[in-house]
Amino acid sequence: MNHSERIGGDLCVKCRGGRYLCGLSYCPLLVRQLSAPFKIKIGRELYGSSPPSFFVGRAGYPRVRLYPAAPPEVGDTSVYENPKSWLNMPLENFLALRLSLYRASLQRRVEDAFNPPRDLQELQLLALSQSPVDTEVVFEKEPRGAYFNEYTPPMGPAAPAKSVRVVGQPKIPKRAERLYGDRDVKASEAVVEMYASGLDVSYISRALSAGALGRNRRLVPTRWAITAVDKILSDYLLQRVREFPEIDGYYLYARRTVGNLFIAILAPSKWAYEWGEAFEPHTVWNPGDSVVIETDYELYHGRRDYPEIGGCYYAARLAMAEALYRMRRQAAAILWREVYTGFTIPTGVWWVRENVREMLRGEPARFDTLEDVLEAASYLMKLPLENWLAMSRIVPLLKSRLL
């Protein structure tokens, strides 16, 4: 019996949204109830405060669809685009929040960002705003559907737009405003400069996606922009991390959250990195009946090819690079994630980045040997350690001291 067949009737009455008897890691009924105030019939017109929200699709590249979005709500809607505020939010609340964003679809060529017409320039300024901006949208038809993706947070109904008008005044940070006007700075340099000034990673990704940075400006599909920013910033930090002394022992971090376990093992070594994900049956990306484990890795000098495991590799890598930079140490870093049955919603790579960041802010357990830290990790994990070791590339290198 699948999950949808189990939802409703006596089971829901017994559960009441707290025991997850249907096997899901969230309550679908609560999602419907929490999002109900925003699922009103808005018709073909929307007036709301964009958090701001700006998404670029990749289908049809180099002719892509832009999706500025807003809830039918005026005021401080910043929580709709603030990953740090989502981290400890119940999953039902997060889903209800994100599915309340109505998306206006506009089609543009990616090179339009180089010399943007007025309407696109308004949307670029919207994307660069650090606070909500009142927006008026007229749709060609009533918005419908929802959007789920591995890279980006879920989003709500969409429809082609007749017009999108930015009514409010975008409030752009001075550093971002200067870089928007600077056509001589490379996009990668602008990304690093914005990060060093304290701007959030999600903000920087949105600016890059909107084609608001760099010399040869282009609209960048959001999923590409997210991974590009995570990679650029972790590369930047790791240049410095590689100069630091090695850690003085074996460190173990862990974070347990809804439907997930994150583990980090740091070993005294030159920089090396492994990211692994294990999906139990009937989880997001694994509809089958057996556990699936994927891993990928890099050694001291990094890698030139794109990891097959996807964007979470770089999201977790950035979180790890930030932690080592704070510690002024380098290490071989092994990060493993277990995803448990019932976790069926694609949340976006922010979920990995923010959970790993939170985990690495804590105090680690310390051990003298690799065998001891692996044994301690095995008591925390649901999957047998042998399953992980069979897929790991860094652990054998540590055991053989080849690192």
pLDDT score, position 149: 84
**Sheet with 272-279, side-by-side order of all strands:** 292-298, 272-279, 332-339, 260-267, 250-257, 365-367
In this predicted model, what pLDDT tens digit does every residue of 40-85 receive, in sequence order? 568 899 999 999 999 999 999 999 999 999 999 999 999 999 999 9
Higher-confidence residue of 283 and 206: namely 206
pLDDT score, position 200: 96
Token match 């350690």: residue? Answer: 385
Instruction: Identify any residues that bridge with 168 across adjacent strands, giving them in sequence order.
Output: none
Which helix (DSSP H) or strand (DSSP E) does residue 97 occupy?
helix 91-98
For residue 93, pLDDT over 90 is answered with no
Mean pLDDT of all residues in 173-195? 98
Higher-confidence residue of 196 and 306: namely 196
For residue 286, pLDDT over 90 is answered with no
pLDDT score, position 361: 98
Strands 63-70, 53-56: pairing kind: antiparallel
pLDDT score, position 26: 58
pLDDT score, position 358: 98
Query: 40 burial class (0-12, 13-18, 19+ CB within 10 angstroms)?
Result: exposed
For residue 263, pLDDT over 90 is answered with yes
Q: What is the mean pLDDT of the chain?
A: 91
Q: What are phi and psi of 301, to 5 degrees?
A: -90, 10
Helix spans in 63-102 (H): 83-86, 91-98
Q: In the structure, what pLDDT confidence band is assigned to residue 8 with cuts at 50, 70 and 90?
A: very low
- In DSSP notation, 336-371 reads EEEE-TT------THHHHHHHHHHHTSPPEEESSHH
Per-residue tokens: 32: 């419907």
The structural architecture, per CATH, of the domain 40-166 is Beta Barrel (2.40)
Domain limits, the chain: 1-38, 40-166, 174-241, 250-399
For residue 33, pLDDT over 80 is answered with no
- Min mean pLDDT across 36-45, 85-94, 311-320 is at 36-45
- With both helix axes pointing from N to C terminus, report the angle between 222-241 and 312-327 in degrees, rounded to the nearest 10: 30
In this predicted model, what pLDDT tens digit does every residue of 335-388 receive, in sequence order? 999 999 988 888 899 999 999 999 999 999 999 999 999 999 999 999 999 999
pLDDT score, position 9: 44
Percent of the chain with pLDDT over 90: 78
pLDDT score, position 1: 44
pLDDT score, position 150: 85
Q: In the structure, what pLDDT confidence band is assigned to residue 23 with cuts at 50, 70 and 90?
A: low
pLDDT score, position 32: 54
Residue 186 and residue 142 in contact, taking contact as beta carbons nearer than 8 Å: no
pTM of the model: 0.91
Q: What are phi and psi of 366, to 5 degrees?
A: -115, 140
In this predicted model, what pLDDT tens digit does every residue of 221-236 receive, in sequence order? 999 999 999 999 999 9
What is the gyration radius of the CA atoms in the chain, in angstroms?
22
Higher-confidence residue of 154 and 31: namely 154
Per-residue tokens: 239: 């240049």
For residue 283, pLDDT over 60 is answered with yes
pLDDT score, position 36: 46
